[in-house]
Structure formats: structure tokens, C-alpha cells
Amino acid sequence: MTTPVQAGLLHDQRLPGESEEYRVARDALLRAEIELKRQTELVAAQRRALPHGGALATDYILNEWDPAVGRPRHVRFSELFGDKDTLVVYSFMFKPGASDPLEVPCPICTSIIDSIDGEVTHITERASLAVIAKAPIERFGAHAQARGWRQARLLSSAGTSYNRDYHAEGPDGAQFAMVNTFVRRDDTIRHFWSSEEWHVPPDPGQNPRHVDFMWPLWGVLDRTPEGRGTDWMPRLSYRRDETS
């Protein structure tokens, strides 16, 4: 007797009530998903093979909230590596508000760190991780407390050129979400990779998706019939009387 695998299908597992039409279409999609995984690994290997970039522009002095004393403390960028030789930095946006140009935390960045905060203990087994905003550390810390973040290391780059130097800030002061990876080799810190797709015009019907790799929200919604859609974005709250 010929099995489904022998007949050219990829496996012999079937779901309750599925039709032959569904199985043929699903198998074609499965082949495309496998090919996408192969391509993803090829790109990952190409990324890992990048030569090291330029040396760190300057050893920025950042602000970090110190709960032990209830006030900010200065931290040098180089200290963020700790005992690791790789550092991943997420640049967190604050949007212009009515009374402060850096007052309102970005809902998109918030959604990302909502997820990443729980992964920090796993990530930092392999690399150090920091989240840096241009907003004052007191404002950033208050937002973190409201969201219940407990693991992510949060810092303010206020008063430094970090955001501008590493493309998380425009000429007009607008803030952008950006991921930068740095490496430490022979006592020199060098840039390694950044989410530069932000600078490339996206394909029709897409947004840049340059930070999607660390954002599980879309990974889940892309597996639904409706998909991620083109006009929906996460909000800070989903109460009917709120709009942000």
C-alpha cells in the first residue's frame, strides 16, 4: 500500500476532517516554509560572517536608575558588556507629548520589551542586552514600573550623541527603533550589526519590519487567516476610552 510520504507528501499526519484540497495546499505551503527556513539560516550565516565594523565612537556616559539609592547613576557604555564580549542594544522611542517632546512611550517599542523582558535571563547567558532611550531615566523607569518589567537593563542616553551616532535619531531629533550589536575584541569595542532595513524603502504593503526578529506579536498573528493586517498596531492600553 502506498503511504502519503511515498506518494510525494511530506508526512503522514492528518488533522480531523481535513479535505484533500486542504492537504495539497498545506503541503505546498509546508515546502515553502521549509525553504524559507533554509534561506533564513543562509542569511544568518552570512550575518555571522560579517567583518567587525568601526570602533565605538566614544565611551558614552549613560544614566541608569539605581533602586538601592533611589536616584540615577552614571554607567559607561563599555560597562554594559559585563562578562560578555557581545552586547545587543535596543533603542527605545518616546513620542512627542503635549508638554514634553519625549513624554509618550512608543506603543510598538513597549510591545517589544513586554516580550523581551521575560527572555533576558536566557539571552544574557550568551550576550549582554541593554535598552536605551533618549528620554530622562526617571521617565523611562516610571514606564518600566507601570509595565511590570523586571529583567531588562534600562538606560537613558540623554546628553549624549549615542542615538544620533547609531541611527536611532533623525536630524530633527525624532527617535527611531533600532537594534545595534557591538563586540569587544582585544580591549576595543566595535560595531558589528544594526537593523539597517529601517533605511531601505519597504516593499509595497509592508512596513520596514527591521525589528520583527525580536517581536513575537507578528509571528503569532501571521499564523492567522487575517494576518497582521495593514492598519493595526499595538497600543499602550486597549481600554475603549483611550486612544494611545
- Listed in sequence order, the residues at least 6 apart from 228 whose beta carbon sits closer than 8 Å to its beta carbon are 218, 221, 222
- Per-residue pLDDT reduced to its tens digit, 44-103: 999 999 999 999 999 999 999 887 777 899 999 999 999 999 999 999 999 876 566 557
What's the CATH superfamily of 61-196? Glutaredoxin (3.40.30.10)
Which pTM was predicted?
0.87
Percentage above 70 pLDDT, the chain? 92
CB neighbours (10 Å) of residue 126? Answer: 10
Query: Partners of 94 in the beta sheet?
Result: 105
| Lowest mean pLDDT segment, chosen from 24-28, 36-40, 133-137, 226-230 | 226-230
Domain ranges of the chain: 21-50, 61-196
The least confident of 13-17, 60-64, 163-167 is 13-17
Q: C-alpha cell of 41?
A: 539560516
Question: Strand pairing of 86-92 and 94-95?
Answer: unpaired
**DSSP structural state of residue 55:** B
